[in-house]
Amino acid sequence: MQRDTILILDFGSQYTQLIARRIREANVYCEIKPCWDGVPADPDGRLKGIVLSGGPNSVYADGAPLLDRSVFDLGVPVLGICYGMQLMTHLLGGEVEPATEREFGRAEIEVTDACPLFHGFGTDAPELVWMSHGDRVKRLPEGFRVVARSPNSPAAAMASADDRFFGVQFHPEVHHTPNGSAFLGNFLFDVCGCSPDWTMGSFIEEEIAAIRERVGDDHVILGLSGGVDSTVVAALLDRAIGDRCTAIFVDNGLLRYQEAQEVCDFFASYFKGLRFVHVDASERFLSELAGVTDPEQKRKIIGRVFVEVFDAEAHKVQGAAWLAQGTLYPDVIESVSPKGGPSVSIKSHHNVGGLPERMKLKLLEPLRELFKDEVRELGRQLGLPRHRVDRHPFPGPGLAVRVLGEVTQARCDVLRLADKIFIDEIRAAGLYDDIWQAFAVLLPVRTVGVMGDERTYENACALRAVTSVDGMTADWFHMPYEVLARMSNRIINEVRGINRVTYDISSKPPGTIEWE
């Protein structure tokens, strides 16, 4: 099925994924490509418009990412955002200069000329937007006009004479530009003529048909964690090929309280087609982690052992030709971010990376076009229960990154119970859906306490709860004091080995969501 497509060329902006999210929210399909991919081909006529993202560079700086000006000869509208506007200006013969006063944060612009991008916007009051730039347009390209200005940007927005090419100095994609979605909607529908045909219902039909066509009569092995992504993949494969899919769930002994049993019970009761295999390798993982305290070493050990265990089990499946994974779109595009862009290696991740080559399998990634919120909606459309699709994210290495210091069975058991109490109290207070991620951390610190008439010397536990849209940035959740008091009281009273509870109030950045 052909569908209208908007292409985003990424020049390294920290907001590029947000542009895609806003466009998808308008039910228009879009893709992100690195700027070095160059001018796109469009043999089937799907391309309806191009967005040039922002970026951290100056167009005149050595090594700044550029683009062939033939992008403006494709016959489709082009919208340049921030650096994208400056690049458009530079390529079409205008001039960019360093601003005497840089603009970062909230700003007000005045709409000065009729323009399709600002259709429905009032001109009697300033428009609130979010700026983030050090350069500005000094001289417009020939045939362009200023359509909005701010105190520090005489050309805060510009448009070509035929209203096909546009540049804006502000960021319409961020939450802090209140009318940003309406602005992007004008570009998508009024300028590009897109149809809002990107829905989860249409995606399900297309993807099931695509899976059947690609897989044919082959068998598929699914690496199942029990999390949202792999569970949604399982539901898709169950519909598409039924018992020609075998889902392998490896219990590494680092899961949450009774989670392994919950996953087994759920798959036994919910999925009637695909085959489900549970491998309890907890003793092996914990044995390999004995004495290890370095976070990165823990991750590498867990990744290696997982591959070995999964590979051994997968070889028991006859006729397997495909390995299915829950790869999401952010995983795909982060690996191709332009030099100087936002994506750097913060930590290594535990995944089934390396398995396709080791097992000589072809890779099947049904979710690779989707963002996390879209995966959750897909799960709902597939009929998965809410408690499965709305779960907080859980790291691949599991409790190994939340038990700081050495990972042992005893320390994992202590943390599991504390974490269960924490989540139970969040749910009881009706706060679970307001939080992006919440968990407990067992610290390698022992503190003095008094319980009853005795002096104790036990572990400290930290509680972490954050709010976020996509996990790229996060703020600490302002937990009500009375809820914190109940959590602390229950953990100290009910969990042997913990006598002190703290609450983490750091944001990301400068911290990370997880502690290791």
User: Where on the phi/psi map is residue 471: left (φ > 0), alpha (ψ -120 to 50), or beta?
Assistant: left
**Alpha-carbon span 233 to 228, nearest angstrom:** 9
Peptide bond into 330 cis (omega under 30): no
Closest CA to 137 of 199, 192, 86: 86
Q: Angle at the Cα of 433 (from 431 to 435), degrees rounded to 5?
A: 75
Angle between helices 228-241 and 372-381 (to 10 degrees): 40
82 is catalytic: yes
Q: Is 173 a catalytic residue?
A: yes
Q: Which is the catalytic residue, given 31, 103, 173, 288?
A: 173
| CB neighbour list of residue 287: distance below 8 Å, 6 or more residues apart | none
Q: How many angstroms separate the CA atoms of 126 and 379, rounded? A: 41
End-to-end CA distance of the chain: 44
Q: Which two tokens stand for residue 358?
A: 């080791």
Mapping DSSP to helix (H, G, I), strand (E, B) and coil, where does residue 449 land?
Answer: strand
Out of 90, 133, 171, 350, pick the active-site residue. Answer: 171
Active site residue 176: no
Q: CB count, 10 Å around CB of 98?
A: 11
Catalytic position from the list 30, 31, 35, 82: 82
* Number of other CB atoms surrounding residue 64 within 10 Å: 18
Half-sphere exposure of 462 (CA within 13 A, CB side): 18
Active-site positions?
Answer: 82, 171, 173
